[in-house]
Amino acid sequence: MATRSSLILTICIPLLACACVWAQGPIANPGFESGMASWTAYSYQPGAGANPAEPVVGCAGLQPCHFTLLAPSAIPDGSMVCGIQSYETSGNGGVCQTFTWTGGPASITVSARAYSTKYDSTPFDNGCRVRMGIVIGATQDRSAVGTWLTFPWSANWLRRTVSVPGQGTYTLFIEAYQPDSSAIMSTLWDTVEFVAQPPVLVTSGPTVTADPAHPDSGVIITWSTNVPSSSQVDYGLTPGLGSTQADTELTTSHCVTLTGLTHSSLYYFRAASAAPGYLDWASDDLTFETPIRFSNIITRLSANGANTIIDWTTDVPTTSQVEYWSEVDPHVFTTENTALVTSHEVVLTGLVQGRQYSFRVWGRNSPAYSDACSEVGKFWTLPPVSIGLANGGFEDTHGAEGHSLYPWVEYVTEEGVSGYHPIDGLVGPYPAGGPTSWFGNVQAYSGSYFLGAAANAAYKNGGVFQRVMVNPGDYYTLTVRY
C-alpha cells in the first residue's frame, strides 16, 4: 500500500499546483472549455479578397467535431479549441477579453497553430497566421493593438508569450489572419496561460552557423534575450533530442557551441533560457543540417533521349561525381570533376535502353569536409524504339511487373497551376460491361485496362509517349472519355 500511495501523490501534486495557477489567474475560460464564455468574438477585413468571419469554439478531429480540415493530431489542453478553418474561402476574426490584474509583472502564453495546404493536400504557406496582442485598458477595438505577436506557419502547435507590465486593466486579443482563398487553412488557438512572473523573451535568433574550427562537425547557436539568463541547447538525431549543452552564466547574448556532430546529418534542437524570478523561455522545435548537404537532385534525358543528365546542388562547394548501377550491372563511378562548385551536372552515357538504374551523387572538399554522398535514387532509361505501335490497348504485361504501360513512358507537366500531381497512369481491371467501374463509372472501351487521370479539387497534368518507327502517312486512332 505504501507504494500505491506514493504513486497517487506523484500524479496528484502537479495537478493541484496547475489548478492553483488557473484559479489565481485573471483570465476566465482560458482553455475555451466553456465555449465563448468571457470572450468577445469579432471579425475584420484586412484587405480585398479577404473575408471577415467570427471564430467559433469546437473540438478538432473527425466528424462530428467542428474543426475537421487539416485537424491536428492532438490539442494542447482539454477537448475544445477556438479559431477559423476555411475551404475555398477565407475568414478573418478573433476574440478578446478584458481582465484586471492586481499583482506585479506577469506573463500570458498562448498555444496556436496556423497551417495550410494546397487543394491537392500539398503543404503550402499562403501567409495565414494566428497573432495576439495586449492593450492597456478596456476596449474591443483591435486597432488599439500597437504590436502584434505572430505565430509562424506550422503543422505543430506553437507557444508564444507576451508581457503584462504590472497591475492594471488590460485587454488580450487573439485573432486569425487568412489573406485569401488560395489554400485550405486552419488557424486555431487554445490554452491561455497566465503566470505571475515576467517572462524571459527572445529578442533575436536562434541562429545556427557552422563552427569555423570544425565546419562539418560543429555548429554555433546564438540568440538574445530581454534579461540576463542562462543558455541551454538540447539536441539529437531524433525529435526526442537526447543531448544537452548548457551554460549557467546569466547573459543577454547567448552562444552555445555543439561539437562532435555527424556530418551530412539532420539534427533536431531546442534552445532555452531561464532566470531567477522569470518565466522560462524555450524555442520551437527546430532543425539544422551538417554539411555536405545535397538537394534538388533531378534526373532528365538529353535532347536525343540517349543519355541521362543528373543535376544537384550542395550547401558548400564540392567536387562532382555520380555512382550508378543496376540489378545486372556493377557499380560504376563517373570521372570526378574536381572543380569546387555548388551547382552540379553530370552526364551518364552508354546506358542500356529500358533499364532501371540506381545512383548516388558524391561531393568532396578535403580537408575541411568529410566526403559525402546522397541517398540512393532511381531512374529509367527510355525503352527501345518500337517497330510499330506496341501495347496500344494497355492490356500487355511486362515481365514480373504484370500489366504494364511498357513501352509507354509516363511524364508530368505543370500547366501554370498552384498545385499538381501526376496522372493516375494505368487503371484497371475495369472490363467493359463488367460489374465494377472506376471514377465516374468509367470502364475500359475494350479489354480491361486504360490510361486515366481523375481529380477532385486538385490538378493532374501529364501523359504518356512512345517512340515508334513509322511510315509517312500512317494513321493512329485514339479513344478518349472526359
For the domain that residue 313 is a member of, what is the CATH number?
A: 2.60.40.10
Torsion (CA) 210, 214, 215, 217 in degrees, nearest 10:
-90
46 and 99, same domain (yes or no): yes
339-349 per-position pLDDT tens digit: 999 999 999 99
* Residue 347 resides in a domain: yes
pLDDT for 61 equals 83
402 and 353, same domain (yes or no): no
Asked whether 226 and 200 are in contact (CB, 8 A), the reply is yes
280 and 330, same domain (yes or no): no
pLDDT for 419 equals 52
pTM of the model: 0.77
283 and 298, same domain (yes or no): no
pLDDT for 103 equals 93
* Residue 8 resides in a domain: no
> Which three-class secondary structure state does DSSP give residue 378?
strand
Q: With a cut of 50, which residues of the chain have pLDDT below it?
A: 1-23
58 and 185, same domain (yes or no): yes
Number of folded domains that form the chain: 4
142/464 Cα distance (integer angstroms): 55
368-393 per-position pLDDT tens digit: 899 999 999 999 899 888 888 889 89
90 and 77, same domain (yes or no): yes
83/159 Cα distance (integer angstroms): 16
Angle at 361 between CA 355 and CA 364, to 5 degrees: 155
Which amino acid appears at position 33 of this protein?
E
44 and 160, same domain (yes or no): yes
* Residue 11 resides in a domain: no
| Domain end among 289, 321, 353 | 289
232 and 333, same domain (yes or no): no
* Residue 359 resides in a domain: yes
State in Å, rounded, how far the first CA of the chain is from the last one. 73
* Residue 413 resides in a domain: yes
| Domain end among 289, 321, 355 | 289
73 and 149, same domain (yes or no): yes
* Residue 62 resides in a domain: yes
pLDDT for 247 equals 96
44 and 158, same domain (yes or no): yes
Report which of 392, 409, 310, 400 is spatially closest to residue 354, judged by C-alpha positions. 409
178/115 Cα distance (integer angstroms): 10
pLDDT for 415 equals 56
CATH number of domain containing 96: 2.60.120.260
The domain in which residue 322 lies consists of 294-380
57/273 Cα distance (integer angstroms): 34
